[in-house]
């Protein structure tokens, strides 16, 4: 089988011990990787990090798809290499300058035809799939690590909310002019002049302290007043960290649309056409646009406070609404981040693959300056999105009209769903009973109509602290497949307008789950 003078030996001339050794090594490495992923998933579940566990499962599914592609290439490369196409179709759209010497008869094909793909080219594509799998794992891991590192820096701000200085700044008896508050001063100074100036300032702010202390504290204050009982203890920083985990679960996957985009990038990798920067710059432009939009949302909320109120009572309360986002869809911003990260990772994979397989000075990289520029842009996009844009989105996305039920633990999510289903049943049966209220409320008083709340309602013209709480759709309007819960000031107002149903969610302090949240138990509330 192996003729004399050949540079390699076929399998029939290969010692069996070398075959067995190679197979054993590959099997051991594969088993170790599988066990490592399994134990990592179990650790995530033990720590109640269900979103990260689901993200890991998605990552395993993507690796399995890449494995299937690899197996199909290995099995079919011999048959694909025998496919012949007309020379007119095979001599266009080359990634390098075309060499006429390659037009001679090649392989099995007759005169006037060329192979669809050679076995060598198929082997190179097979290697590209391997690089794509490795880069996908490393890229997603660094995205998550940098994002959590950024959010961890907000921990000191969260601790500050337990101090006396913070209680003084949120004291309802403290009155200030709206334009004198730090949040309005830092964010609304340029926005009142021109919209274009607001976006210019927002563009540059994402590079310099994208999230400032006063922004975090004000957005936290608005979130608690909109979704929870005012004055309750709630670790917003851990909630944001869980929200980031939930967002990471979305961006780690590769759907059919992204696979199609990857194929289009390979299709457009044509000689001379590849010198156009638009494909390389697309992720950078999208990430910068998203970061500018998120900064502009914070600025616009500050401007709204200044326009609504002359005098602020306590800390300013931002108005939560989906209308702050493009087309009223906060999730669209995450989709753009997902797309940008994939395109950028795909281009970095392509660069590393060409470098390894053909060398840095190959015809694929005939313009070395262009190659360096693409590499620097890719690294910039990766760092900018991971450390700035994604954590900023995790914070600002909480300013939408909905709260993510998926972030809470399983028991809390089930309780929310059961509460909603019971309300829908009562609505269908035409019940005239008043909705249930929290144990801390009396029959004539809801959690939001406590003495402090009544005082704030009476001082409404001064910008009371409950201004961020808006009336929204009833939970009976939520579709069965909805995973989020709308902000509700009077969720069951159609039954009894004088009662309000609020989500009493507090941080679990049992010591077993550092990031968990649960409902306030009736026996644990006093009043």
Q: Is the pLDDT of residue 139 over 80?
A: yes
Per-residue pLDDT reduced to its tens digit, 295-327 = 999 988 888 888 776 676 667 778 888 888 888
pLDDT of residue 525: 41
Task: Compute the distance between CA of residue 392 and CA of residue 401 in angstroms, rounded to an integer.
Answer: 17
Max Cα-Cα span within the chain: 99
Residues of the chain above pLDDT 70, percent: 68
pLDDT of residue 9: 72
pLDDT of residue 183: 79
Alpha helices in 359-465 (DSSP H): 368-384, 390-396, 410-428, 451-458
pLDDT of residue 279: 74
Task: Compute the distance between CA of residue 468 and CA of residue 301 in angstroms, rounded to an integer.
Answer: 11
Q: Is the pLDDT of residue 197 over 70?
A: yes
**Pairwise pLDDT comparison (118 vs 391), residue with the higher score:** 391
Averaged confidence pLDDT in the chain: 74
* DSSP state string for 121-139: HHHHHHHHHHHHHHHHHHH
Q: How confident is the model at residue 452 (pLDDT cuts 50, 70, 90)?
A: very low
Q: Domain extents for the chain? A: 17-87+109-126, 136-400, 407-524
Alpha carbon 514 to its chain centroid, in Å, reads: 21
Q: Is the pLDDT of residue 493 over 50?
A: no
pLDDT of residue 414: 62
Kindly state the average pLDDT of the residues 138-155. 91
pLDDT of residue 501: 37
Q: Whole-model pTM above 0.85?
A: no
**Pairwise pLDDT comparison (499 vs 168), residue with the higher score:** 168
Kindly state the average pLDDT of the residues 2-30. 78
* 81 C-beta neighbours (distance < 10 Å), count: 18
pLDDT of residue 513: 47
Task: Compute the distance between CA of residue 375 and CA of residue 381 in angstroms, rounded to an integer.
Answer: 10
- Specify the pairing of strand 113-115 against strand 84-86: antiparallel
Q: How confident is the model at residue 170 (pLDDT cuts 50, 70, 90)?
A: low
pLDDT of residue 105: 52
Q: How confident is the model at residue 21 (pLDDT cuts 50, 70, 90)?
A: very high
Q: Is the pLDDT of residue 262 over 80?
A: yes
Kindly state the average pLDDT of the residues 510-515. 46
pLDDT of residue 7: 63
* DSSP state string for 209-255: -SS-HHHHHHHHHHHHHHHS-TT----HHHHHHHHHHHHHHHHT---
Non-local CB neighbours of 448 within 8 Å, separated by 6+ positions: 229, 230, 466, 469, 489, 500, 502
Kindly state the average pLDDT of the residues 476-480. 36
Q: How confident is the model at residue 380 (pLDDT cuts 50, 70, 90)?
A: very high
Per-residue pLDDT reduced to its tens digit, 318-370 = 888 888 888 888 889 999 999 999 999 998 998 889 888 888 878 877 777 78
pLDDT of residue 172: 67
Secondary structure of residue 86 in the 3-state scheme: strand
Q: Which residue has the tokens 């997603």?
A: 140
Q: Is the pLDDT of residue 500 over 80?
A: no
Per-residue pLDDT reduced to its tens digit, 383-411 = 999 999 999 999 999 888 777 765 665 55
């Amino acid at each position: 089988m192996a003729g004399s003078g050949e540079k390699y030996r076929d399998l029939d001339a290969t010692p069996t011990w070398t075959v067995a050794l190679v197979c054993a090594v590959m099997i051991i490495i594969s088993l170790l990787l599988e066990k490592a992923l399994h134990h990592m998933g179990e650790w995530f579940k033990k720590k109640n990090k269900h979103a990260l566990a689901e993200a890991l499962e998605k990552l395993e599914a993507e690796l399995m798809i890449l494995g299937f592609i690899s197996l199909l290439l290995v099995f079919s490369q011999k048959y694909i290499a025998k496919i012949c196409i007309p020379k007119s179709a095979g001599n266009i759209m080359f990634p390098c300058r075309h060499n006429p010497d390659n037009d001679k008869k090649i392989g099995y094909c007759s005169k006037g035809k060329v192979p669809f793909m050679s076995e060598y080219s198929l082997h190179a594509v097979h290697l590209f799939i391997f690089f794509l799998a490795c880069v996908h794992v490393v890229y997603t891991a660094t995205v998550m690590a940098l994002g959590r590192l950024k959010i961890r820096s907000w921990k000191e701000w969260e601790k500050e909310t337990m101090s006396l200085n913070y209680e003084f700044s949120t004291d309802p008896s403290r009155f200030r002019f709206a334009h004198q508050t730090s949040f309005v001063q830092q964010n609304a100074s340029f926005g009142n002049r021109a919209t274009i100036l607001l976006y210019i300032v927002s563009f540059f702010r994402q590079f310099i302290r994208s999230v400032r202390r006063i922004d975090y504290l004000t957005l936290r204050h608005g979130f608690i007043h909109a979704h929870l009982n005012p004055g309750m203890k709630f670790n917003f920083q851990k909630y944001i960290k869980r929200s980031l985990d939930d967002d990471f679960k979305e961006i780690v996957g590769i759907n059919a649309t992204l696979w199609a985009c990857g194929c289009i990038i390979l299709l457009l990798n044509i000689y001379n056409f590849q010198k156009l920067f638009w494909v390389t710059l697309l992720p950078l432009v999208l990430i910068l646009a998203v970061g500018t939009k998120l900064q502009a949302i914070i600025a616009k909320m500050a401007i709204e406070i200044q326009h609504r109120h002359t005098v602020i009572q306590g800390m300013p309360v931002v108005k939560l609404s989906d209308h702050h986002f493009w087309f009223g869809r906060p999730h669209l911003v995450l989709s753009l981040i997902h797309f940008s990260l994939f395109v950028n990772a795909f281009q970095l994979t392509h660069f590393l693959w060409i470098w390894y397989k053909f060398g840095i000075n190959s015809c694929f990289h005939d313009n070395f300056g262009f190659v360096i520029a693409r590499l620097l842009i890719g690294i910039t996009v990766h760092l900018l999105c991971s450390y700035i844009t994604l954590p900023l989105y995790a914070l600002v996305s909480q300013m939408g009209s909905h709260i993510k039920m998926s972030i809470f633990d399983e028991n809390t999510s089930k309780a929310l769903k059961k509460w909603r289903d019971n309300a829908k049943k009562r609505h269908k049966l035409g019940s005239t009973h008043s909705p249930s209220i929290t144990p801390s409320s009396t029959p004539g008083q809801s959690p939001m109509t406590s003495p402090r709340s009544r005082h704030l309602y009476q001082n409404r013209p001064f910008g009371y602290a409950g201004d961020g709480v808006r009336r929204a759709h009833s939970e009976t309007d939520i579709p069965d497949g909805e995973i989020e819960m709308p902000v509700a000031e009077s969720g069951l107002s159609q039954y009894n307008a004088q009662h309000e149903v609020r989500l009493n969610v507090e941080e679990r302090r049992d010591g077993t789950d550092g990031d968990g949240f649960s409902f306030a138990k009736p026996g644990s509330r006093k009043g």
